[in-house]
Amino acid sequence: MSSPVLSVSDLSVEFWVDGVWYPAANHINCEVEAGQTLAIVGESGSGKSTVAMAIMSLLASNARVTGSVKVKGEEVLGAPIQKLQKYRGKEVSYIFQEPMTALNPVYTIGFQIMETLRNHFDMGPSEAKARAIELISLVEIPDPERSVDKYPHQLSGGQRQRAMIAQALACDPALLIADEPTTALDVTVQAEILDLMRGLRSRLNSGILLITHDMGVVADMADEIMVMQSGNMVEHGTADQIFNRPNHPYTQQLLASVPKLGSTTMRVLDASQAAAKPVLKLSNVTIEYPKRGRIPAFVAVEDFSLEIFPGEIVGLVGESGSGKTTVGRASIGLLPIKSGRLEVVGQDISGATNKELRQIRRNTGIVFQDPASSLNPRLPIGESIGEPLYLAGIAKDKELDKMVEDLLASVELPRSYRNRYPHELSGGQRQRVGIARALALTPDILIADEPTSALDVSVQARFLELLQDLQSKLKFACLFISHDLGVVDILSHRIAVMQNGRLVEVGNRDQILKNPQDPYTQRLLSAVPVPDPAEQKIRREARLASK
């Protein structure tokens, strides 16, 4: 047996914050062999990335690291900076989560790959360029000779991630650390990137340390899995052990909170509700982003028709750029529609004046995707929640205080949180504040724009429960926009699928998930990774065969 490329023993990381050492990772032990994939799984804040950064010695200066990290038998911790510079990029390389921010926007991808190469090898520019082109074709970016001179913004999200991988592979590293490599990508692109990484692993025989929160991705890639919770390693075993015989309660809970397609009972709307007048009715709606300077007008949504009945939850799925969010924002009058007819609670919104719009908005609510951005950072949350009530003239002073308290209680937040600022809350709590604000005026229809995409799976599970509870209590209709079919599956009465601004398919859950008619829906479904290694293998092979 060969010696491991990476062996971490008794690694602990602490951060000095506000006068206290906060432990971020405690006594981590793990090994990665050549050609193997170790996945570190855990929720945000569990210390996954901290471990990876410690391996690269890239931690902030307020960190204290103890233990030992050996790469190919050599100690890395405490090594002098010259040695580290030689080893970073050459022996160990890093694939970042967000390729748009990790690639320098003012240099071509070819330049950035060549830079890595020429830092580590005695290479001339033309030689380096030839190697860069070779790498770019290795990661299957089309037309490598021309792509090498492209800037990051000229590539699509998936291609950018491929360019990052090409850069990481430039020096044939023994170990590749991939920190959430597919989180920012759509499922279909994610499947392609994972296929690519799997192919490269067998070709280059390097070890991969995969960091992710997505159990589906883990099932697809990992040989071994390490589960982390608040800085501690709670379970470590082979993929088969972890998925099929999890020992630790946290692992079990984590696996249970992953939404699985088709696992819940189908929700059906009462006949009386379905017969009522729709609360939201879009007929042949086209939405266009107008021409700006030299940038031509862009049709984001075309000929879109959908009806939502009282008390119904309709899930709207599609990839990024498919126009889901545009539909959501237009539905509450944040975007003008170009043609067609959009009715909210029986009122036509397309030609409404500001005053009428304000009236219509009293009956609608919206939960935004990013709770960090949708709450005013300078307003205490109590005031954010109370604002719709105050502006609608429903309540003031003491009365308003009381209503804000009730709203906080209804989303299970302590009343004393009302004077806190958004940054003092966790992501899940912030999103609950978002819901409380959206429901303040007891709307007839709630637009939820990817409300769970910024949340961890277990937080997401609780959030979805809360949303279901509130919905059954308050009986509002809901347009639930998401890219995650699993989440939509749990919540929705009906599912609508969008592609490139068009509605491709709409139907109840069984129609869409079990018997999809449209080829795009079929492709979307087959790309969703399933948190079960054996099944995922079958699905993967089926997908590759159908190509």
Partner 1 sequence: MAIFSRKKKVEEIVDGDIFNKETEGLSQGQIVLKRFFRHRGAMISLIVLFSLVIFVFSALGFKIFGIGYGGWWKYKITDLPTLRTDGCPIELPGCPTLNLIPGKHFGLGDHPFGQDDLGRDYFSLVMRGAERSLEVMVVIGLVAGALGIIVGALAGFYRGVVDATLMRLVDFIITVPVIVLGSVLGYHFGSKGVLFLALFLGLVSWGGLSRLVRGDFLTLREREFVDAARVAGASNRRIIFKHILPNAIGVIIVNVTLLMSGAILLEAALSYLGFGVVPPDVSLGLLISQYQDSFTTRPWLFWWPGLIIIMVALSVNFIGDGLRDAFDPRQRRRISRKDRAAERQSVDKK
Residues of this chain that interact with partner 1 (CB under 8 A) are: 16, 18-21, 329, 332, 334, 358, 361-362, 364-366, 368-370, 373-380, 382-384, 386-388, 391-392, 400-401, 404, 414-416, 418-419, 421, 423-424, 434, 437, 440
CB 417 to partner 1: min, Å: 8
Nearest to 377 by CA among 456, 433, 326: 433
Closer of 258 and 481 to partner 1 (Cβ):
481
Q: Which residues contact 472 (CB under 8 A, 6 or more apart)?
A: none
Nearest to 112 by CA among 166, 156, 161, 58: 166
Look up residue 88 and give its DSSP letter: B
CB 442 to partner 1: min, Å: 14
**Contact call for residues 239 and 54 (beta carbons, < 8 A):** no
CB 300 to partner 1: min, Å: 16
Q: Which residues contact 138 (CB under 8 A, 6 or more apart)?
A: 166, 169, 200
**Contact call for residues 251 and 416 (beta carbons, < 8 A):** no
CB 371 to partner 1: min, Å: 9
CB 373 to partner 1: min, Å: 5
How many angstroms separate the CA atoms of 354 and 330, rounded?
A: 14
Closer of 7 and 12 to partner 1 (Cβ):
12
Closer of 245 and 355 to partner 1 (Cβ):
355
Nearest to 180 by CA among 152, 158, 213: 213
Closer of 440 and 512 to partner 1 (Cβ):
440
Query: Could you tell me the two tokens for 7?
Result: 């062996």
CB 436 to partner 1: min, Å: 12
Closer of 340 and 386 to partner 1 (Cβ):
386
Closer of 151 and 417 to partner 1 (Cβ):
417
Closer of 238 and 419 to partner 1 (Cβ):
419
Closer of 15 and 107 to partner 1 (Cβ):
15
CB 199 to partner 1: min, Å: 39
Closer of 283 and 416 to partner 1 (Cβ):
416
- Cβ neighbours around 266 below 10 Å, total: 12
Positive/negative CA dihedral, 353, 355, 359, 365: positive
Look up residue 295 and give its DSSP letter: B
What's the Cα-to-Cα distance from 544 to each of 207, 223, 291, 318, 326, rounded to whole Å? 24, 20, 41, 22, 33
**Contact call for residues 29 and 10 (beta carbons, < 8 A):** yes
CB 347 to partner 1: min, Å: 15
Closer of 30 and 400 to partner 1 (Cβ):
400
**Contact call for residues 67 and 12 (beta carbons, < 8 A):** yes
Query: CA torsion, points 318, 324, 325, 330, in degrees to nearest 10?
Result: 180
Beta pairing, strands 175-179 & 347-348: unpaired
CB 231 to partner 1: min, Å: 17
Look-up of token digits 């390693």: 233
CB 486 to partner 1: min, Å: 25
Return the SS3 of 539: helix
CB 156 to partner 1: min, Å: 23
- Written as one string, the DSSP assignment of 108-161 is -HHHHHHHHHHHHS---HHHHHHHHHHHHHHTT-SSHHHHTT--GGGS-HHHHH
How many angstroms separate the CA atoms of 498 and 482, rounded?
A: 11
Closer of 150 and 329 to partner 1 (Cβ):
329
Bridge partners of residue 288, in order along the sequence? 299
Closer of 23 and 45 to partner 1 (Cβ):
23
CB 74 to partner 1: min, Å: 29
Closer of 166 and 439 to partner 1 (Cβ):
439
What's the Cα-to-Cα distance from 254 to each of 41, 175, 212, 229, 531, rounded to whole Å? 10, 27, 13, 10, 11
Q: How far apart are the first and last CA of the chain?
A: 37
How large is the C-alpha radius of gyration of the chain? 25
Return the SS3 of 477: strand
CB 356 to partner 1: min, Å: 12
